[in-house]
Amino acid sequence: MRSEELYDFSDPEIEMSLKKAKLLCARLQTMTPYDADFRAVIEELIPGIPASANICPPFNCDHGHGIRLGEGVFMNYGCTVLDGGYVTIGRHTLIGPNCQLYTPSHPKDYVLRRETKETAYPITIGEDCWLGGGVIVCPGVKIGDRVIVAAGSVVTRDIPSDVLIAGNPAVIKKHL
């Protein structure tokens, strides 16, 4: 799954991982970061999450163990992370409400799409970035450090450091 090669998402090991994450995400939907057991649930879902990283539920992901967060990362309400491929978010990055980070990609051939197979390409978001509300990041995208992504943008390709981007597809609007 993390090899960027075609895999079968109906594989029993992958199905167990999906089930575990869905059960933990369902528990999070009725919690706040102030609940006594919130931190234990989020740490079970996302192993190695730094103590300084915060995620506001509702939050959904495919596996959880494919999410790597830096110190001080903040994810606002309603984010979705499809982490068949690794999703790495650098230190002090802010993710606005309802952002969606997608690593899976289905085959282009319609006959192959009927099967339970897909690929996944990692997403990397640099340090000190800010993704406004409703941003979508597509499979395989790398976003540099200190990037601002305007609300509602769709990031379809790699973005260098120190820029403001906006649009669908997102393009550089300003160098910072």
CB atoms within 10 A of CB 156: 16
| In the block, residue with structure tokens 């649009």 | 167
The 10 Å Cβ neighbour count of residue 151 is 14
Angle in degrees, 0-180, between the axes of helices 38-45 and 12-28, rounded to the nearest 10: 160
Q: Which residue has the tokens 């000190």?
A: 128
Of the residues 63, 65, 92, 106, only one is catalytic, namely: 106
Nearest to 150 by CA among 136, 175, 131, 168: 131
* Of 98, 83, 104, 73, nearest in space to 18 by CA: 83
- Contact (CB, 8 A) for 64 and 27: no
Q: Is 92 a catalytic residue?
A: no
What's the Cα-to-Cα distance from 73 to each of 54, 68, 113, rounded to whole Å?
6, 10, 35
Catalytically active residues are 106
